[in-house]
Amino acid sequence: MVSFVERGTTGDGGRSIGTVRFASMMKAWVSIPGWRVVGALGIGVLVLAGAAFVAVQYATASSLGGVMPAEGSVVDTSEVVVSVNLPGFEPGAAEVEMLVDAEPVPAEALEQVAGGVRAQVRLRDGAHWVRVTVVSGNIFSRRMVSQWEFTVDTTPPSVTLREHGPTVYFVASAARLDLVFREPVEATLEFDGTEVALEGEGSERSAGFEVGPGKHQIRVTAVDRAGHTTVKNWTAWADFTAPKVTEVTWPEATWDEPAAGLVVEVEDDQPEGIDFAMLIDGAPADFTRLPVPENESARRFVVDTAELSEGEHTIEYQVTDRGGRTQGRAETILVDSTETFGAREMGLGARGRDVTELQKVLTRKGLLTGDPSGTFDEPTAAALVGYKSGKGLDSTPTLDRETLVSLLGAIRIDISERRLYLYDGDEVVKTYPVAVGVSRYPTPKGDFHIISKVYHPSWTPPPSPWAAGLKPVPAGPGNPLGTRWMGLSVPHVGIHGTYASGSIGSAASHGCIRMYIRDVEQLFEMVYVGTPVQIVP
């Protein structure tokens, strides 16, 4: 703390200086000839007046006293009362200025009382300084200045363990912990209830000790200079053996089914502590954690991949033991479960006749050039994304149901109305009368798609009681299928023409949808293999 007083002091030295000066002045007057008699009387008066003046000045002089908060102290509140004691000070008897961090305290906030001045200020955490200046007309305390520093700390100390998260893992019996604090503190470390000696000082400490396998508890207590206390607890696991992974069920790199059940078994000396994660195309996959049989060291994880689109997918899993050791595998697989266009969603890497049909459609629409390759490659993906962007669909290179309907259109058959509607997006572009199945052989209801298109089909009797004993009929007049056949993704049911035009508009078929010859030939040219078909009651 820095304090000083100008023109006088607070001790006897201040009095003696004033007295000596006054006495010297009186002696000079007495030594003048002719004035000795009159001077004696005047001197007496002056001596008395001077003495009275000095006495008053001395009696009303103030001095510097203690300050608050104390020099170098730490306070634990942001609302700080700053004051300096001024023995002998009276409010209004002097000009007072208080600076806090170089900013003047407003006069209305500065409280002057007998014997001192004070103010309440709001301060942020950190170091601060105060300077109080008192200026008066008193010869013994003309100008007094007091300056000091202190620290505000309202925040409890932070405690972290370097290189560790919420759970601490040890992979060797020789353990070490490095503690980091926000500020200098007094700290203690307990491991499983026993205090461990800490090395270092200030805001960083460390400790080394031996641990055994299994679960442990860590407790750190830190107290800062303001008296704030922070206590933090960690759970620690010591695991010295790496896990061993066995893929119990794992299909080949090419899957002929859209979904698979994957089973991964993990052996470890602490199997209940194994963490498992699987990603399919970067997204977390659901899995079932089977319980650990008693006295066994293995744990199994079962993953149902759910249905995957045709094409390439990435499958990645990772197992982590309590020691933080990891094992895993990442693989690219190909799902090739169908050749029927429209039967499943498809994306990059898909191959087969379904891809060929998609490429034909994109070529007809002027979005793709060249002969179909049967592989969903980058040019195919770019053409599909270009189409989807133009239609306001998402920009992923995936042929999903929404894109399929937009790309191919859709058919809706209303059994009760006996009508077929052809859609381009949400717009009906054509409507035709049809015949549907009789009550004994009804037309199936649900969502289907066209799986085949045949010019001038021949007819083969289906495996149904009503067709027993019937013979195949070649293409031509009198064929039950007329001149066109569009098979649906339900056995032995399709959209076809009929020479029995009088049946149109009624329930007359064995489940198929009949159309006038001219209508079916027109529709045949407007739809594709894969076109969605919805049949409603």
Which residues are 233's β-sheet partners? 219
Structure confidence at residue 42 as a pLDDT band (50, 70, 90): low
Which whole number is the average pLDDT over 315-321? 93
- Residue with the bigger pLDDT between 278 and 140: it is 278
Tokens matching residue 201? 């000082």
464 vs 70, higher pLDDT: 70
- Percent pLDDT > 70 in the chain is 88
Q: Is residue 298 part of a domain?
A: yes
Does 492 participate in catalysis according to the annotation?
A: no
For residue 117, the domain's CATH number is 2.60.40.1220
Does residue 204 share a domain with residue 249? no
* Mean pLDDT over the full length of the chain: 86
Q: Is residue 219 domain-resident?
A: yes
Instruction: Give domain status of residue 194, yes or no.
Output: yes
Evaluate if pTM is beyond 0.75: no
Looking at per-residue pLDDT, the higher value among 57 and 88 belongs to 88
pLDDT of 188 strictly over 80: yes
Q: What is the DSSP string of 435-486?
A: BEE-SSSPPP-EEEEEEEEEES--B---SSGGGTT---B-SSTT-TTTTEEE
Residues 278, 215 share a domain? no
- Using 50, 70 and 90 to split pLDDT, how confident is the model at 93? confident
Q: Which of 21-35, 57-71, 321-335, 513-527 has the lowest mean pLDDT?
A: 21-35
**Residue 450: pLDDT above 70?**
yes
Q: How far is CA 145 from the centre of its chain?
A: 54
Asked whether residue 404 is domain-assigned, the answer is: no
Q: State the pLDDT at residue 351.
A: 94
Whether residue 250 is found in the same domain as residue 233: no
Of the candidates 243, 235, 194, the residue with the CA atom closest to the CA atom of residue 217: 235
Find the mean pLDDT for residues 335-354: 91
pLDDT of residue 48: 56
Buried b / exposed e over 231-269, threshold 16 CB at 10 Å, is eeebebbbbbbebebeeeebeeeebeebebebbbbbebb
Boundary (domain end) residue, out of 129, 153, 177? 153
Q: Mean pLDDT lowest for which of 39-43, 241-245, 434-438, 474-478? A: 39-43
The whole-number average pLDDT for the span 183-194 is: 93
- Considering the candidates 216, 228, 496, 510, report the single residue annotated as catalytic: 496
4, amino acid identity: F
The confidence score (pLDDT) of residue 46 equals 57
CA distance 339 to 350: 10
Contacts by residues 418-421 (CB-CB < 8 Å, ≥ 24 positions apart): 418/504, 418/505, 418/506, 418/507, 420/495, 420/513, 420/515, 420/523
Do residue 48 and residue 147 come from a single domain?
yes
Domain end marker among 153, 176, 193:
153
Please give the residue range of the domain that contains residue 468.
Answer: 409-536
Is residue 269 very low, low, confident or very high in pLDDT (cuts 50, 70, 90)?
confident
Whether the CA torsion 347, 352, 358, 362 is positive or negative: it is positive
Instruction: Give the other-Cβ count within 10 Å of 6's Cβ.
Output: 11
The answer to whether residue 403 sits within a structural domain is no
Residues 210 and 307 in one domain: no
Residue 27: per-residue pLDDT: 52
Q: Specify the pLDDT at position 14.
A: 35
Orientation angle between helical segments 401-408 and 378-390, nearest 10 degrees? 80
pLDDT at 36: 56
In the block, residue with structure tokens 């307990």: 190
Number of domains present in the structure of the chain: 5
Q: Is 128 a catalytic residue?
A: no
Please state the rounded mean pLDDT for residues 225-246. 92
Neighbours of 409 (CB within 10 A): 19
Task: Check whether residue 301 and residue 193 sit in a common domain.
Answer: no
Q: Which element (helix H / strand E) includes 379?
A: helix 378-390
The contacts of residue 494 (CB under 8 Å, 6+ apart) are 452, 481, 485, 486, 487, 488, 512, 513
* Region 478-500 average pLDDT: 93
Look at residue 56 in the predicted model and tell me its pLDDT: 43
Lowest mean pLDDT among 34-38, 65-69, 252-256, 399-403: 34-38
**Active-site residue, from 128, 313, 449, 512:** 512
- Same domain? For 297 and 320 the reply is yes
Banded pLDDT at 518 (limits 50, 70, 90): very high
Same domain as 324, residue 275: yes
Neighbour-count burial for 287-311, b at 16+ CB within 10 Å, e otherwise: beeeebeeeeebbbbebebeebbbb
Q: Same domain, yes or no, for 6 and 147?
A: yes
Greater pLDDT, 293 or 75: 75
Do residues 483 and 512 both lie within one domain?
Answer: yes
Q: How far apart are CA 536 and CA 516, in angstroms?
A: 21
- Check residue 363 and give its pLDDT: 93
What pLDDT was estimated at residue 22?
Answer: 42
Give the CATH number, domain containing residue 486: 2.40.440.10
Is residue 322 predicted with pLDDT exceeding 90?
A: no
Give pLDDT, residue 34.
53
Return the minimum-mean-pLDDT range out of 23-37, 350-364, 482-496: 23-37
Confidence (pLDDT) at 298: 87
Determine the Cα–Cα distance for residues 56 and 537; give it in Å rounded to an integer. 115
> What's the pLDDT tens digit per position in 487-496?
999 999 999 9
Return the percentage of the chain with pLDDT > 90, whole number. Answer: 61
If asked whether residues 40 and 69 sit together in one domain, one would say yes
